[in-house]
Structures are given as structure tokens and as C-alpha cells.
Amino acid sequence: MTEAERQVASPCVNICALDDDDVCSGCQRTVAEITRWNRMTNPERRDVLVLCHERAKASGVVWMLGSKA
């Protein structure tokens, strides 16, 4: 990471509760992703954010405005 590149921010929303699959109900990260976050590169963090969004959509946490679903 260059000095000019800012770190990708954590998706933590301070609602820390793990489900049966060890996924946080607040940020949708797995325990492994949470514990590794500070050691991840920005590309790794972006990959995790994509996974978080996919998990949130799959669980119904993300509302799709204007969707025809």
C-alpha cells in the first residue's frame, strides 16, 4: 500500500453477534475475516467487502430498493 492510498475501512457497525455459521450479524464478516482484517491488504479487504454484501443480500439484510424480486 502506498502512502497516498487510504486503508479500506472496516465494515464493523458495532453490532457484534455471531450466527450459527460464525458470521457476524452486524458486518457479515466471518470470524476468520474479522481476526485477519488488520493484516489484510486493501485488495483483500475489498474482496471481503464483496463477500459481506453477498452474505447480507442472501440473508435479507440488504434491502434492494426498486427491485422487482
What are the per-10-residue average pLDDT scores of the chain (69 residues)?
Answer: 82 94 96 98 98 93 59
| Burial class (CB within 10 angstroms; exposed 0-12, middle 13-18, buried 19+) of 10 | middle
Residues 6+ apart with CB under 8 A from 34: 24, 27
Angle at 29 between CA 51 and CA 13, to 5 degrees: 115
pLDDT of residue 3: 60
Q: Where are the beta strands (DSSP E) in 1-69?
A: none
